[in-house]
Amino acid sequence: MHLADIDCPDQESHCIASGYGCRVSFILGQFLEGIAILVALIINVVIGFGTELRAARSMEALQQMTRRHAKMLRQSKIQKIDAAKLVPIDILVLEGGDMVPADRGQLD
């Protein structure tokens, strides 16, 4: 993970400050403090990365749930496809409670 991968300005500034603090500690010979800062920095980055990964997966799951599907008749078969892929000549098969995914005419 690089500093460019961090989206949150607060987290980015904490990483920079911790990095400088770690370097100063090592330069001054305070190795225990430098290692403690380094460990805290690594834990912070790992937790932040995990949180962002879970958030991205949650957003993708929500997008999958909100995708509209439609049952339609093509080649004498009823098929379920993504509503965005419907074309004007498709014949929709509707049942009670179905949402009409687009402006369509009605056949009886």
Q: Please tell me the total count of domains within the chain.
A: 2
Q: What percent of the chain has pLDDT over 70?
A: 81
For 43-89, write each residue's pLDDT tens digit: 888 888 888 889 889 998 888 777 777 888 888 888 888 877 787 77
Listing DSSP states for 23-76 in one string gives HHHHHTT-HHHHHHHHHHHHHHHHHHHHHHHHHHHHHHHHHHHH--EEEEEETT
Predicted local distance difference test score (pLDDT) of residue 106: 62
Domain extent for 35: 3-65
Helix or strand run (H / E) with residue 78: strand 77-82
At residue 71, what is the residue type?
K
Stronger pLDDT, 21 or 60, i.e. the higher one? 60
107 falls within a domain: no
Residues 10 and 42 reside in one and the same domain: yes
Predicted local distance difference test score (pLDDT) of residue 101: 67
pTM: 0.51
Predicted local distance difference test score (pLDDT) of residue 18: 76
91 falls within a domain: yes
